[in-house]
Amino acid sequence: MDEIISTRLALLVAAVADSRTLKEEEDLEHAKMGQAAKHKSMVLQKQEDELKNRVLKLAKRNYQSLGTFIRLIDYMVVEAQVKINQESADLILAEMGKDQKKYGIQTTVSYAQEGMSFEPAKSEFITQFEKILQDMQSVTEEVSRVISHQDFHQFIHGLISDSGPRFRSIVEGSEAYASSKATIQ
Amino acid sequence: MDEMEMDGEAYQQMEEMDEDQGMEEEGAEDAGVTFEALRDIIEKTDDEGKDQVVQAREANYISKGTYIWQLLAQIETGEQAISFFAKHGHNTPIKFVNCKRKPVPGDQFRPYDLVKVDDEKALENEYFTISAQGVVHVSQEKGKKYSKSDAVPTEFLSLSEWMQQSTMFNVLTSMKFFKHYIIGKVFALWKGNVRFKMYNSTRQSLARNLIQTRPAFLTSFMDINKTLYEMQTLKTFCVPKSGKTVDLTDFVNDQKTARE
């Protein structure tokens, strides 16, 4: 998924960069050999020049905005990661709360004079579910950030700080996730 | 300086008047006016007053210069008219007084403030007729032509009812909330309009400058949004579909495999 996004962004960067060099290409067209010289009225020429200037100005503006756009996409990706993680945690919780489950986890109950004992023990369950939650986070985190892409460094330079959105810190700091985690455990 | 001069003049005039009065009193004493003579003068004056009222009540029409004419001329407002009818009833040749609403500035609302209209032709679509019985409020729709068969909308209020409602209105409008209600309402309206204008301006600015709405970025933005939406449909926890019971370790391993 992250590759698709990076590729799409790379295409966009290329297209915007190309639009900036439109003028040079058109100037070259005038120098093509073997073609009859085109004569245009001064008014038409002036209008075309104005239009060209506007297009170039817009292209430059777009090029300058690339960094902000990449940053926006990065935020969106992080948002999606947090959402996936939260929804998965909620899914575990919902499954645990179901009355009639189609599956179950084996537990051996031993009766002794000291009282009942369970195998695996409660602490084992807690540890394993903690591991599942950690694995879920790790898998979600594997989606690489677009800002870490080499091609985009020049655009986001100075726009993003080190304290930018961090998936793990957002998840750990989330009240909703903390509540779900506490209920699961 | 002018004020001081004026005050000085007024003081002088008052002193002169006092002196005149003193001289008159002295003159009266000189003339030998007795208590009986003074009583006669007072009674005579009272009689004259009574006579005027009696004359006014007995008159069949209002002639210029008479006492009743003076009374009618003194009536200028609706309140004065009501006061007149409350005092004299229908015993005088003045049977009714036509009034219209008192013109007030646009930021005020004074429905009970009326002014007398002498000329009946000057009456507009809305007017009030005050008589000894009460107040008739005639309110015709503007621009609508009434034929003889059409009923003109009217409302009747007795004098006491009118006075009660007028007093209640004045008491209520003297309260801070109602006193400033129109100003507050207009201010709220103005504030709302300004806020809406600012909102529109911000909206237009956003529509012009928002990166994802620019044609160059729009397609890419939509594509990436679609990809992210598809990504969100994936779950990192897999609900087992089989109906068997598994070991805890196996359950954890199954989850790991499913995620991979």
Question: Of B243, B241, B238, nearest to B253 (Cα)?
Answer: B238
Q: Do B223 and A132 touch (CB under 8 A)?
A: no
- CB within 8 Å: B241 and A102: yes
Q: Which of A1, A68, A104 sits opposite B227 (nearest CB)?
A: A1
Whether residue B157 lies inside any domain: the answer is yes
pLDDT for B106 equals 80
Q: Which residue of A lies nearest to B223 if distances are taken between CA atoms?
A: A8
pLDDT in tens, chain B (260 residues): 444 444 455 555 555 555 555 444 444 455 566 787 777 777 666 666 667 777 777 777 777 878 888 888 889 999 999 999 988 888 888 889 999 999 988 878 889 999 999 888 888 888 999 999 999 999 887 777 777 777 888 999 999 999 999 999 999 999 999 888 888 999 999 999 999 999 999 999 988 888 888 888 889 999 999 988 988 887 777 777 766 777 777 787 777 777 77
Is residue B217 a part of any domain in this protein?
yes
Torsion of Cα atoms, A49 then A50 then A53 then A54, to 10°: -150
Q: Other CB atoms closer than 10 Å to residue B134's CB: what's the count?
A: 17
Q: Is residue B45 part of a domain?
A: yes
Percent of all residues in chain A with a pLDDT value above 90, rounded to a whole number: 0
Same domain, B138 and B203: no
Is B252 inside any structural domain?
no
DSSP letters for chain A: -HHHHHHHHHHHHHHHHHHHTHHHHHHHHHT-TTSPPP---HHHHHHHHHHHHHHHHHHHHHHHHHHHHHHHHHHHHHHHHHHHHHHHHHHHHHHHH-SS-S-EE--EEEEETTEEEEES-HHHHHHHHHHHHHHHHHHHHTS--GGG-GGGHHHHTTTS-TTS--HHHHHHH-HHHHHHHHHH-
Do B165 and B209 belong together in one domain? no
Q: For Cα atoms B207, B208, B213, give the angle at the middle one, nearest 5 degrees.
A: 60
Nearest CB neighbour to B232, from listed A12, A84, A102: A84
Give the A:B interface size as CB pairs under 8 Å: 105
pLDDT at B129: 94
Are B237 and A120 in contact (CB < 8 Å)? no
Which pLDDT belongs to residue A109? 83
The answer to whether A103 contacts B245, with C-beta atoms less than 8 Å apart, is: yes
Nearest Cα neighbor of A101 from B213, B246, B105, B152 is B246
Q: Out of A69, A95, A135, name the one closest to residue B239 (CB).
A: A95
B245 vs A91: CB contact, 8 Å cut-off? Answer: no
pLDDT in the model for residue B193? 98
Is B251 within a domain? no
Nearest chain A residue to B248, by CA: A105
Minimum distance, in Å, between the CA of residue B197 and any CA atom of chain A: 28
Same domain, B99 and B165: yes
Q: What is the mean pLDDT of residues A78-100?
A: 84
Same domain, B93 and B124: yes
- B217, B228, B236: residue with CB nearest A136: B236
Partner residue facing B216 (CB), from A8, A62, A95: A62
Q: What is the pLDDT of residues A23-35, one digit of tens each?
A: 544 555 555 555 6
Q: How far is B221 from chain A (nearest CA, A)?
A: 8
Residue B238 lies in a domain: no
| Better-predicted residue by pLDDT, A3 or A77 | A77
- Does the pLDDT value for residue A177 go beyond 60? yes
* Among B229, B235, B237, the residue to mutate for chain A (most A Cβ within 10 A): B237
Q: Look at residues A86, A91, A82 and name the one whose alpha carbon lies nearest to residue A143.
A: A82
Is there a single domain that holds both residue B51 and residue B89? no
The whole domain housing B209 covers 183-232
The phi and psi torsions of B167 (rounded to 5 degrees) equal -65, -45
Q: Do B235 and A104 touch (CB under 8 A)?
A: no
Structure tokens at A121: 């023990």
Chain B: give the shortest CA distance to residue A166, in Å: 17
* Contact call for A89 and B256, based on CB within 8 A: no
Q: What is the chain B residue with the closest CA to A107?
A: B247
Q: What is the pLDDT of residue A45?
A: 87
pTM metric for this prediction: 0.54
Domain co-membership, B131 together with B105: yes
Residue B136: the pLDDT is: 95
Query: In the block, which residue shows the tokens 């208590």?
Result: B35
Considering the domain architecture, whether residues B134 and B85 belong to the same structural domain is answered as yes
CB contact under 8 A, B251 and A105: yes
CB contact under 8 Å between B237 and A136, yes or no, is yes
User: Which chain A residues are Cβ-neighbours of B246 within 8 angstroms?
Assistant: 103-106
Length of chain A: 185
Task: Specify whether B96 is located in the same domain as B28.
Answer: no
Single-letter residue type at B249: T
Residue A156 has pLDDT above 60, yes or no: yes
Rounded average pLDDT over A68-75:
88
Q: Contact at 8 Å (CB) between B117 and B95?
A: no
Residue B68 domain-assigned (yes or no)? no
Report yes or no: B215 at the A interface, CB cutoff 8 Å. no
List all residues 6 or more positions away from B124 whose beta carbon is below 8 Å from its beta carbon: B100
CA distance B223 to chain A (A): 8
In chain B, the number of structural domains is: 3
- The pLDDT score that the predictor gives to residue B3 is 44
B253 interface with A at CB cutoff 8 Å? no
B223 within a domain of the structure (yes/no) = yes
